[in-house]
Amino acid sequence: MSLWGRLTGWIVLIFGLTYFALPLLGLTEFSLKARRGVYSLDAYAKVIADPEFQATFGYSVMMALVTIALGILIVVPTAFWVRLKMPWARPYVEFITLMPLVIPAIVIVFGYIRLYNTSSWLPLTGSIMGTNLLLAFGYTILALPYMYRAVDTGLRTIDVATLTEAAQSLGAGWVTILGRVILPNVIPAVLSGAFLTFAIVIGEFTLAALLDRPAFGPYLQRIGANKPYEPFALAVIAFGITWACMGLIQLVTRFSKHSKVAR
Amino acid sequence: MAFLELSHLEKSFGSNRVVKDFNLDVGQGEFISLLGPSGCGKTTVLRMVAGFETPSSGAIRIGGTDVVGKRPNQRNIGMVFQAYALFPNMTVAENVGFGLKIKGAGRDEISARVTEMLRLIGLPDLGARYPFQLSGGQQQRVALARALAPKPQVLLLDEPLSALDAKVRVSLRNEIREIQRELGITTIFVTHDQEEALSISDRIVVMNGGIADQVGPPFEIYNRPTTRFVANFVGQLNAFTATVEDGAAGRVRLGGVPVTLPAPVSGGSVDLAARPEALYLGRREGNDVILPATVRDVHFLGSVIRIGANVAGMPVALDTFNRADQPPPAPGAAVELSLSSRDLIVLGG
Ligand SMILES: Nc1ncnc2c1ncn2[C@@H]1O[C@H](COP(=O)(O)OP(=O)(O)OP(=O)(O)O)[C@@H](O)[C@H]1O
Ligand SMILES: [Mg+2]
């Protein structure tokens, strides 16, 4: 590599560091300064002790789990069927699953509110349960691109068609095939999709705020506007969760590699 | 009385007719091979029996009942694939027990049957392994055990040996045949390897372009091929063109030598064929046709010597057994070849 190339590399790296790592460092440092003069975890203690934190965080975790379950139920059979019976449809399905990346969440939620308001034929927003359901659907849509890609990649590592036929000739129906043959073989892929979904749902703001549900995202925003140190502690916690998810994806991928796919 | 009947089976993909008026009656416990070149429709026939493809027309009956309307998981048919297709997330024992579990068999029954099947395929100790911990040959044995465990009515094998190396291929094919005999299960075995088909089948169906060209036992297929395709596809063949002198009496002239065929022929010329082992170097009692020839090349193969020669400008190959006191002729030597006119195959179609 030339001197110029190396120099450019370093400049980009330094730029990236100042842009990304420095604010993070500053953030973390500041979150530790709640007590005058010394570093302490006071802000974290306060945040974690806050019942509203516990409530909203619990709510968001719940929502994330529901979203993951919905995502698996929708995506695994779809990706399986497309691979098995309609390979010609794959580009179209892929395009559709990418839509949520292009359409802003706010458009989706306005659409929801317009379609399912209290005077519509299906007044989902009229009840708390209905709104929760709507929010879970919205999250499922937001997570669709990641979930679909992950599962589709997982399906590529097995011979879907032959395994399906082998199971069929042994008497298995579709539910058995999906549940006992296909799903167990794409678990690592499903898990990495699930962790991504978790990371997205935990910090999501727009949908939760506009549907007025007590989720972690809006709470984060509210605290940020009103408290001095706690928002920074919260930001670090949220960031930590995201990173933990990424780490878990790495772990699952690596673990699965030498247990199953090897041959 | 046929156990598995395929009658007037047709399959088209779009405008492509892949299987044409295919008829076959398979007896209970019979081992049938479908033999033919790539793309002739062997797999398609098998997949129609298994239920993975729907025939465009025709009937498939197993034990007298038409199964065309039934889904693959209702047909009680065992299938072994070229790609093994073991479930990677299950152990060998779980793979073998899968079909019984689906049927709702009890745990003791499953484990007894799994043990029995693993013993049958000669892998009694590998139940706890995962497929990726097995060799190709072992995986295919497990696939066979998995297909047989639920006691299917019919066993279908689609080129099960193609992915294995030569030695394993031979030993496993004999093993498959032995197991098949032991269980008495009606079997269809797809292959494009003629030696495989000849060595293990009760009967062979030679397929060409979606049609069953000839159906018969290996001995008959090899020695009495009824079409030019079968004659060429199965085994090595020397083809001659002879001019007809008196068709009704079967008198023809082969490279200037008069030959009397056992059956009448028609037309101005006729295509004849002879297997390499039917030709004899020199004269011999009973060989009524003597052909002058020039030796082209000599391949010493050990117990067999294959000699290439020219007869009236036509290349022929002949096999003779090695004899320590009789060195083979040198290339360029003028020799006499003889054969019995009864060994000449008249090629039709
Ligand atoms: N699903 C399909 N759609 C369209 N054409 C098909 C399909 N399956 C098979 N064919 C065509 O049918 C013909 C016969 O295929 P088949 O797989 O039965 O051949 P085969 O005898 O098993 O060949 P091989 O020895 O290569 O396995 C081929 O020309 C193939 O292209
Ligand atoms: Mg085939």
- How high is the pLDDT of residue B1? 67
Contact (CB, 8 A) for A200 and A139: yes
Measured on CA atoms in the order A129, A132, A137, A143, is the torsion positive or negative? Answer: negative
- How high is the pLDDT of residue A256? 64
Closest partner residue to A171 among B83, B102, B131, by Cβ? B102
Q: Tell me how close the Cα of A160 comes to any Cα of chain B, in angstroms.
A: 9
CB-based contact, A163 to chain B, within 8 Å: yes
- Long-range (24+ apart) CB contacts under 8 A made by A41-44 are A42/A229, A43/A229, A43/A230, A43/A232, A43/A233, A44/A233, A44/A237
Residue in this structure with the two tokens 């010597």, named with its chain if needed: B305
Does some domain include residue A89?
Answer: yes
Among A159, A193, A166, residue whose Cα is nearest residue A71? A193
> In chain A, which residues have pLDDT < 70?
1, 255-263
Q: Do A260 and B132 touch (CB under 8 A)?
A: yes
Among B276, B200, B285, residue whose Cα is nearest residue B238? B276
The angle formed by the CA atoms of residues B70, B30 and B154, to the nearest 5 degrees, is 25
Q: For ligand 1, atom 29, which residue shows the shortest CA distance?
A: B39
Closest partner residue to B77 among A169, A261, A263, by Cβ? A169
DSSP for A152-190 reads: HHHHHTS-HHHHHHHHHHTT--HHHIIIIIIHHHTHHHH
B75 lines ligand 1 (CB under 6 A): no
Q: For ligand 1, atom 26, which residue shows the shortest CA distance?
A: B38
- How high is the pLDDT of residue B215? 96
Q: Where are the alpha helices (DSSP H) in chain B?
A: 42-50, 92-102, 107-120, 136-148, 166-183, 194-200, 218-223, 228-233
Residue A88: which domain range?
Answer: 41-259
Q: Do B87 and A176 touch (CB under 8 A)?
A: no
B236-346 maps to which CATH number? 2.40.50.100
Token digits of residue A159? 């011979």
Does some domain include residue A188?
Answer: yes
Does some domain include residue A214?
Answer: yes
Is residue A72 located within the same domain as residue A190? yes
E runs forming strands in chain B: 2-13, 16-27, 31-35, 57-62, 65-66, 77-80, 154-158, 186-191, 203-208, 211-216, 238-246, 251-254, 257-260, 269-274, 280-281, 289-300, 304-311, 314-321, 334-339, 345-346
Among B86, A158, A179, A247, residue whose Cα is nearest residue A255? A247
Task: Please give the backbone phi and psi of residue A148, each rounded to the nearest 5 degrees, phi first.
Answer: -65, -45
pLDDT tens sequence across B218-244: 999 998 888 888 988 888 888 888 889
How many C-beta neighbours within 10 Å does residue B7 have? 14
Supply the pTM of this predicted model: 0.83
Does some domain include residue A36?
Answer: no
Is residue A93 located within the same domain as residue A12? no
Q: Which fold has domain B4-232?
A: Rossmann fold (3.40.50)
Is residue A57 located within the same domain as residue A24? no
- Three-state secondary-structure class, residue B285: coil
Is residue A112 located within the same domain as residue A227? yes
- How high is the pLDDT of residue A125? 80
Instruction: Please list every residue in chain B whose beta carbon sits closer than 8 Å to the beta carbon of residue A168.
Output: 51-52, 71-73
- The atom number, within ligand 1, closest to the CA of B207 reads 21
Does some domain include residue A194?
Answer: yes
Give the CA diameter of chain A. 73
Measured on CA atoms in the order B331, B334, B339, B343, is the torsion positive or negative? Answer: positive
Token digits of residue B272? 């004849």
Instruction: Please list every residue in chain B whose beta carbon sits closer than 8 Å to the beta carbon of residue A173.
Output: 73
CB-based contact, A171 to chain B, within 8 Å: yes
Q: Tell me how close the Cα of A200 comes to any Cα of chain B, in angstroms.
A: 30
Instruction: Give residue A232 CA to ligand 2 midpoint distance, Å.
Output: 64
Is residue A200 located within the same domain as residue A233? yes
Is residue A2 located within the same domain as residue A124? no
Choose which residue among B10, B42, B191 to substitute to test ligand 1 binding: the one with the highest number of ligand atoms within 8 A of its C-beta: B42
Is residue A203 located within the same domain as residue A178? yes
Residue in this structure with the two tokens 């596809």, named with its chain if needed: B233
Structural domains of chain A, count: 2
Question: What is chain B's Cα-based Rg?
Answer: 25
> In chain B, which residues have pLDDT < 70?
1, 348-349
Q: Tell me how close the Cα of B137 comes to any Cα of chain A, in angstroms.
A: 14
Domain ranges of chain B: 4-232, 236-346
Contact (CB, 8 A) for B102 and A170: yes
Residue A221 maps to which CATH number?
Answer: 1.10.3720.10
Does some domain include residue A9?
Answer: yes
Token digits of residue B162? 């193609």
Predicted-complex ipTM score: 0.84
Instruction: Please list every residue in chain B whose beta carbon sits closer than 8 Å to the beta carbon of residue A158.
Output: 88
Is residue A88 located within the same domain as residue A128? yes
Q: For ligand 1, atom 25, which residue shows the shortest CA distance?
A: B38
Question: A204 exposed, middle or buried (CB, 10 Å; 0-12, 13-18, 19+)?
Answer: buried
Residue B150 corresponds to which amino acid? P
Is residue A114 located within the same domain as residue A241? yes
